[in-house]
Amino acid sequence: MIGRVLAGEYEIVRELGRGGMGVVYLGRQRSLDRPVAVKVLPPSMVDSRERRALLLAEARLLARLSHPGIVGVIDVLEDDGVVCLVMEYVEGETARDWLGTHGPDPRRAVAAGVAVCRALETAHGQTPPIIHRDVSSANLVFTPRGEVKLLDFGLAALSTRSAEAAGSAPYLSPEQAQGSALDARSDLYSLGVVLYELSTGHPPFGGGGEFSIAYRHVHEPPPPPSAVRAGFPPDLERIILKCLEKQPENRYRDARQLRQALESCVLQPAGQGETASMKRIAVVVLVGVLGLAGLAWYLRRPPERDAGTPAAPALNARTIDEAARQAILAELTALRDAYTWGDVEGGCQAAARLSRADLAPLDPRERTEYSQLRFKVESAQKKIAAASELAVLAHTAQAQARREEALLLARRAFEQLNSAVEDVSRYTWQNTPLGIDIVNMLAALEPPGAGQVASATWEAALLRAQAGGRASASRRWPNCAASCGMPGRAPRRPGGADLPTGSGPGATQRGRSHHRRRRQRGTRAYRGAQLPRGPQDSGRAGKPGDHRRPTARTGGTAPHRHAGHSAPSDRHPQGSGQPGAPSRARRR
């Protein structure tokens, strides 16, 4: 393309950049001898005559936009199969590059937000309204003259006619992530993300894959800017959080209302009120000087100390090392507590802080414990992120009526969450919004007439996850029943009998120890509510669900109760020699 002249008017000079929306070249308009930006659209957007005609028509509509804050479209042309948009060439740096050079600045964020709102007012006021759909820090340019320009206006709207996705994952509005209809308030959400980024240094949802970020836009509240940056202006935080509301009706009505809110919270420029400030500073300095003079007189007095009062310990290398050790031990305790109580996010944060510290004060056992806990919480975090991505894919397949694919993806998402349960103690998927969402989707996608049989697999997976006592018995079955879409009803065993509410394997320490011993003996792995049968049970007739094992003293058989069930009322007294009498050894 370099050196090519398009339509006899625009000469391609050099490449400026490329992305999913095409390649941008620096060009020269021969008739006016001025620089222009030429964007060559990708073939996927113009692969048919009808789509090419539609793109050209919509691009000409965009060319009528005229505003100082919008990079205007000069021409739309097609030359030998190449479809191009000729746009105004703007010198400057993007907001993302500026942030990397200068760091976060709430004052700069407010000024940029006001300028973008003015540009959006013009676009949204067209008939029909023109939605940008990709407001991001990469599409804002700060010029050397202090202007703010909005790039690629409307190109994301054009791409929705093709198979390409519009928008960048960190800036997607919830309705955009779900593929719903968009209006002007979607751009206000994306602008709120930009304000958050320019004020704190990063978007509210970052890290993980694109599907994981999109899921968080839809389901998770953004962390308040004041929790990320100390001393954050309260008025600006209120504006940003209102822009980031999940429901469009809870955001600002339009760009004009948002602009007025930003203009009212602009910080007072430095230098105003300087006289009053200098007077206050002078008074403070005078009081400080007088106080220091009195302190100097007092310190010149000879020290008076009782003979029985011990001197304060000297600050030496030993006390400094001990202080460093205590600080590292505090972080290790935070990591240990996060692992114990299933706080995956908090555990990863504690592990990250420890990874930046010098672990020399720790002994080998403590360093080994840190390595093991860090591996477990980070592994669980990766599995939860993978489960969220699979859940988004399953929702997409479900919305497009691809039932079998959606069911497969939902089951894989459940398996990832169930695997995370094995990594982190007390972490239970049924107490997370993601877990409830996946189970509800599974319940809706099960084939008709196969509800109990098909659901037994993920109910059994829940029981296996809880067999180690990772959730309190008081919240075990009610939450599961509600998650499975069966309010007021406990899950069923694959064998047929209902399990009582409030019961389940591993509900007590005795039950956990028993099942651990059975696994160590090499018996068949415990599978949900289906109790294992040992060699002593083979060939013995019995009632369904009446699994027996030998007692310690008599060699007879006794019913094997689920751990956590209440004791039967007709238990034989200890030492009676009856088949059901428990031994002292087993009670211990």
Amino acid 261: pLDDT:
95
Where do runs of H (alpha helix) occur along 424-549? 433-445, 451-466, 476-483, 509-520
Task: For the chain, count helices (H), then strands (E).
Answer: 20, 11
Q: What is the DSSP letter of 90?
A: -
What is the Cα–Cα distance from 289 to 295, expressed in whole angstroms? 10
Query: Is residue 270 in a domain?
Result: no
| Rounded Cα–Cα distance for residues 498 and 153 (Å) | 60
Among the candidates 66, 88, 110, a domain finishes at 88
Query: According to the model, what pLDDT value does residue 563 have?
Result: 42
Give the pLDDT confidence of 65-77 residue by residue, as tens digits: 888 899 888 888 8
Please tell me whether residues 62 and 199 are part of one structural domain: no
Judge if 48 and 186 occupy the same domain: no
> Residue 69's CB: how many other CB atoms inside 10 A?
20
- Per-residue pLDDT at 286: 56
Specify the pLDDT at position 179.
82
Q: In this structure, is residue 421 part of a structural domain?
A: yes
List of long-range contacts for 53-56, beta carbons under 8 Å, 24+ apart: 54/161, 55/83, 55/158, 55/161, 56/83
Q: Which domain CATH number covers 23?
A: 3.30.200.20
- One domain, residues 222 and 164: yes
User: Could you read off the pLDDT of 464-474 as tens digits, one per residue?
Assistant: 444 443 333 33
Q: Are residues 37 and 170 in the same domain?
A: no
Residues of the chain with pLDDT under 50: 159-165, 268-277, 305-317, 449-454, 461-462, 464-511, 515, 519, 522-588
- Cβ(176)–Cβ(167) below 8 Å: yes
- Does residue 554 lie within any of the structural domains? no
Could you say which of 520, 546, 576 is where a domain stops? 520
Number of domains within the chain: 3
Q: Tell me, what CATH number does 104's domain have?
A: 1.10.510.10
pLDDT, residue 561, reads 43
**What pLDDT score does 300 carry?**
54
CA distance 344 to 470: 14
Residues making up the chain, counted from first to last:
588
Please check whether residue 255 is in contact with residue 67, taking contact to mean a CB–CB distance below 8 angstroms: no
Quick one: 66 and 109 in the same domain?
no
Whether residue 112 is found in the same domain as residue 225: yes
In this prediction the pTM is 0.49
- Inter-residue contact 70 to 62 (CB < 8 Å): no
**Residue 467 structural domain:** 373-520
H/E stretch holding 345 reads: helix 344-355
State the pLDDT at residue 25: 93
Terminal CA-to-CA distance of the chain, rounded, Å? 83
